[in-house]
Amino acid sequence: MVGHIRQAIAIFVGLVLTDQLTKLIAHTLLEASGAVHFGPLAIVLVQGPEHLFSGLTTLTGEQPALGLGLIAVLLSLWAAERGAGWGGVPATGWLLVAAGLAGEWLDAALVGESTGVVSLQVGPVQVGFALSELLLLLGAAALVLAALDWISAPWRSPMPLIRASAVVPDMESFQRGIDNVHLDVRLSPRFCAATCGLVTAILAHEMTRNRHGERAAPPPGRRLFEEYRESYRQLLAPAIRAAKRANEPSRIGLLQFAVLKFLLEAVGREFEAQLIGLRAGLQRSAERHSPDQLTRYDHVFGVSKARRSIEQRTRKRLLDQLEVVESSTGTDLRESLFGEPWLLPRELLFNPLLQSDPNDDCLIMHRYVLTGRRAEERNTLSRFEQFVAGLYRGEGSATESLTDGDYVWLSSRNWNTCTEALGWSGGQMPAFGLWTDVGENIAILFDQDHAATAATEAELEGDRAGAARWRRQRRYQRRAAAQLEAFCRREGLLPRLVAGYEMVEVFDTHYEALNPLLVYQYLIGGRDRTNALRQIRRLAGSGERALPLAPLFTLARRVRRTPHRRIRQLMLRFARDFLAFRRDIRNYCIVQAILEQIRLLEQEEELRLSRVNRCLHEFLSEQEAPPTRERVRAHVVLKADLRGSTVVTTQLLERGLNPGTHFDGKFFAPINDVLRRFGAEKVFVEGDAVIATVLEYEDDPVTQTAVARACGVARRMLEVVQAHNRASVRQGLPELQVGIGIAFEPAPPSYIFEGDQPIMISPAISRADRLSSSSWQLREAENSEGVAVRVYELDPDHPMRGEKGQTDLRYNVNGVELESTGFDKLAGEIDLRPVPVDDTGRYLAGRCSDLQGERHLILLREGHIRRLGQAGPGSRTERVYYEVVSDPQRLEVAEQALRAGERDIAPARQKGS
């Protein structure tokens, strides 16, 4: 920078001295009006009105005008410095104008009139001029040409920009875990074991390789890396196929983020564990008064100090291996199944900042470009981002970007806290940009060498139209690059970006033990330079192990003398790297927000609870995957409630009999065989009631007749009770009465565990409880209809309406009521046909099979709900209820009618075939 400024000043001084020297030679060798002729040209000393700019020189002969002339020279030099760069055409023009004006000003100040050296005779007209006037003419011509080129150059990029992926992961679509906040995820145990083994080996080598006097742990072998990659490959492939089957591509992203979380946490945990081991060894050496105690202390201290860099290198090696699998197996499978090689942006998943954090100066220096941390420097960088974004907005369609609505699931994220923790002033999160996120667009907008190469390639391919567009693009780039450079000069960015790039090699060679910001502050100069050098000298130490300062001073001189062409290259690189850094900061915050929502489960109790409640997202290899039958999709709850159990218990106790064995032998024990036969499960026994469930599984069609099987269970339960009641009458024992309710829930149940015992939670339990209930007032009334189930709607003025939220009253004695949603499900499970039985309602009959394949008759009675007032039952309503009939006589009538219908259908089928 300083070098090219000095070079330009040298050129300016040289031109002015050359001009004055030619005039001095002319004064010395030639008399006034004397000449040496060369055709129409003559070397001559011309003074007076025949001079080309005699009027200008005469004007500047006045004292005030001399000051104006000097101001004009200085303004020309300032314009050259603030133009498109000292090497650009506009700057060259202003430099020539400044040199010409300086020559004319010296003529006016020293001689008092114009002095020409060369005379041109064109007919009767003779014009004399000097080198200064030629410089003025050439400079003006260069400025005119530059202005014409500026005006005629395209104002928008002729070449289209590359659009980034607009995919933003949405975590709201996933089922929350058992804490209703996080996403419960379980990763393949094989992958976790392979990862931990590799992490242990890498860290053991990294943390012992600089240990003085002892042999370092060997580096991890190839076998560990191969096992790590293969375990991830076997984890990734089934997840992609499962996501395709379920049409849920977002599940792949959940797996990728869960793996990221596991890797990042595994490195931190293992480092802490090995550091504890090193400290324990240090403690043992202290107790033994070992002579190498001080050496061990230095080693442990050095490892603790280098924790960030050690963890960064370890995470990088792990993520690089993952990227290999994702770029081969992952991209092939995704492209074949979803048509896209990457469903989430690659730079989101393999963000370099995930290896450490955005405050790691060494990582930033090597991966992007190091910048200062003062508020004014941050503000300058923010203005730079706005400036480049403004250039993108000038490209018409490039104004498109992602809005807050595209990532509304992150609306609760405190972005101000996040960005302020990263040192960004104002707490402004870097915006989503579909064009600014693509580094190649910097080359399209600014890199003239890129456009020239593309134009040449188009010419060789015979694409004349394409070559012409790239030539027009190059003219556009000259303007855009000039604007970019002018902004960088105005904001003082050029010395900073040059220092940020040029320091890397020297820092890695000599100053790795220092803070990179100290070296950076010394190189950019300013008010912090002296303080930075003082700290560097203090930290450099002394003696044989002292850090050399000569490379730092040499680097500082090289930075100041960086050629202009190199500056332009670094400026374009800076634009690309800085925008990538801002993009990666934003992506880093997004990924951190996602990782905070994921909870990796490892304890068996939590896994079991989350799995049975259908909120566990498991990613396993095909060998580790559980049977598909474990995936419940719906369930039925059946509640059987004994009537008058208190009265029966009293009667038995008065006779010296055991109520427990009576209830168990007559009801609880015999129904266990019924439950097993129809694939039902006893959930729990609640006093004198039994609650059972019938589950449906996603990939098991045999289980997908849950309501029909529940109806079969209920009918068989009543048959068991009726059979035992007949025996009880003969034995003089009290009879049992039971009411059964069946409720269907088109979703899996939830569970909690009490020890190893699962406890089901389902809204269908409370509905089945209402269906199985029976009002004592209705039980005392006469059952004139001879049916087991009746339902009444309480009138608004009925005193019982509203009690416990009830609007209906039920009579259910040795009957089964099926809720209407269960009836709708049953109609889709079996073939229900209307059959004539009696006038108590409409009857529907069908058959279902138990797990042994035996067919059972299911008879339903559809009855109308009647109104119930204080005076008694009233008119019927349009609402209906459904009873599963267990009366033997009605079942026999329905069986005969159903068989008759089947006999009528069979010949019709044979005839139709």
pLDDT, tens digit, 9 for 90 and up, residues 176-209: 888 888 899 999 999 999 999 999 999 999 888 7
112-121, 231-240, 334-343, 532-541: which range is least confident on average?
A: 112-121
Signed CA dihedral, 456, 460, 462, 463: sign only: negative
Select from 107, 93, 136 the least CA-distant residue to 26: 107
Query: What does each C-alpha distance from 880 to 615, 740, 782, 784, 829 come to in angstroms?
Result: 36, 18, 22, 19, 20
Give me the mean pLDDT over the 508-536 stretch.
Answer: 86
Would you state the structure tokens that stand for residue 299, as one six-digit string?
A: 């080693």
Residue 734 carries which DSSP code? P
Give the containing element (helix H, strand E) for 753: strand 750-754
Cα 544 → chain centroid? 50
CA pair distance 875, 613, nearest whole angstrom? 45
CA pair distance 590, 437, nearest whole angstrom? 15
Q: How do residues 315-331 score in pLDDT, each as one tens digit?
A: 999 999 999 999 999 99
In 3-state terms, what secondary structure has residue 911? helix
Q: How do residues 215-226 score in pLDDT, each as one tens digit?
A: 778 889 999 999
pLDDT of residue 328: 92
Query: What does each C-alpha distance from 99 to 43, 68, 69, 141, 610 come to in angstroms?
Result: 22, 15, 12, 14, 82
CA pair distance 189, 207, nearest whole angstrom? 26
> Which one of 282-296, 309-323, 502-516 scores highest in mean pLDDT?
309-323
CA angle 344, 345, 348 (to 5 degrees): 100
Whether 820 shows a pLDDT value over 90: the answer reads yes
CA pair distance 550, 510, nearest whole angstrom? 10
pLDDT of residue 55: 42
The pLDDT confidence band at residue 10, using thresholds 50, 70 and 90, is: confident
Signed CA dihedral, 280, 285, 289, 294: sign only: negative
66-70, 157-161, 620-624, 625-629: which range is least confident on average?
A: 66-70
Give me the mean pLDDT over the 144-151 stretch.
Answer: 71
Could you tell me which residue, 666 or 877, shows the higher pLDDT? 877
How many CB atoms are located within 10 Å of the residue 459 CB?
15
pLDDT of residue 124: 53
Query: Do residues 808 and 869 lie in contact, with contact meaning Cβ atoms separated by under 8 Å?
Result: no
Give me the mean pLDDT over the 35-54 stretch.
Answer: 51
pLDDT of residue 130: 66
CA pair distance 35, 43, nearest whole angstrom? 6
pLDDT of residue 703: 81
CA pair distance 244, 339, nearest whole angstrom? 11
pLDDT of residue 4: 53
CA pair distance 786, 841, nearest whole angstrom? 12
52-56, 99-103, 138-142: which range is least confident on average?
A: 52-56
pLDDT of residue 412: 47
CA pair distance 682, 322, nearest whole angstrom? 47
User: In percent, how much of the chain has pLDDT > 90?
Assistant: 23
pLDDT of residue 39: 52
Whether 27 shows a pLDDT value over 70: the answer reads no
Residue 537 backbone phi and psi in degrees, to 5: -60, -40
User: In percent, how much of the chain has pLDDT > 70?
Assistant: 78
- The DSSP string of 400-445 is ----GGGGGGGTTS-HHHHHHHTT-GGGPPPPP-TTTT-THHHHHH
Residue 901 backbone phi and psi in degrees, to 5: -65, -35
Whether 399 shows a pLDDT value over 50: the answer reads no
CA pair distance 707, 165, nearest whole angstrom? 48
Could you tell me which residue, 26 or 876, shows the higher pLDDT? 876
Average pLDDT, the chain: 79
- The DSSP string of 515-584 is -HHHHHHHHH-STTHHHHHHHHHHHH-SSTTPPPSHHHHHHHHHHHT--HHHHHHHHHHHHHHHHHHHHH
Query: Do residues 588 and 358 lie in contact, with contact meaning Cβ atoms separated by under 8 Å?
Result: yes
CA pair distance 713, 858, nearest whole angstrom? 10
Whether 75 shows a pLDDT value over 70: the answer reads no
The pLDDT confidence band at residue 787, using thresholds 50, 70 and 90, is: confident
684-692 LR contacts (CB < 8 Å, sep 24+): 684/759, 684/760, 687/645, 688/641, 688/642, 688/645, 688/663, 689/639, 689/640, 689/641, 689/642, 689/772, 690/639, 690/640, 691/637, 691/638, 691/639, 691/765, 691/768, 692/637, 692/638, 692/639, 692/640
pLDDT of residue 56: 46
Select from 679, 751, 741, 685 the least CA-distant residue to 709: 679
Select from 191, 203, 201, 192 the least CA-distant residue to 313: 203
Whether 65 shows a pLDDT value over 60: the answer reads no
pLDDT of residue 780: 64
Select from 909, 813, 912, 790 the least CA-distant residue to 861: 790
pLDDT of residue 264: 94
pLDDT of residue 98: 74
Q: How do residues 612-671 score in pLDDT, each as one tens digit?
A: 777 899 999 988 876 654 678 899 999 998 877 777 878 878 787 777 777 777 777 788
CA pair distance 721, 669, nearest whole angstrom? 11
pLDDT of residue 245: 85
Query: Do residues 760 and 693 lie in contact, with contact meaning Cβ atoms separated by under 8 Å?
Result: yes
The pLDDT confidence band at residue 68, using thresholds 50, 70 and 90, is: low
Whether 816 shows a pLDDT value over 80: the answer reads yes
130-134, 337-341, 444-448, 575-579: which range is least confident on average?
A: 130-134
pLDDT of residue 118: 54
pLDDT of residue 666: 73
Query: Do residues 61 and 112 lie in contact, with contact meaning Cβ atoms separated by under 8 Å?
Result: yes
Residue 171 carries which DSSP code? G
Could you tell me which residue, 761 or 233, shows the higher pLDDT? 233
pLDDT of residue 874: 80
The pLDDT confidence band at residue 537, using thresholds 50, 70 and 90, is: confident
Q: How do residues 668-683 score in pLDDT, each as one tens digit?
A: 778 888 888 898 988 8
Q: What share of the chain is helix, strand, coil (3-state, %, to 5)?
A: 60, 15, 25
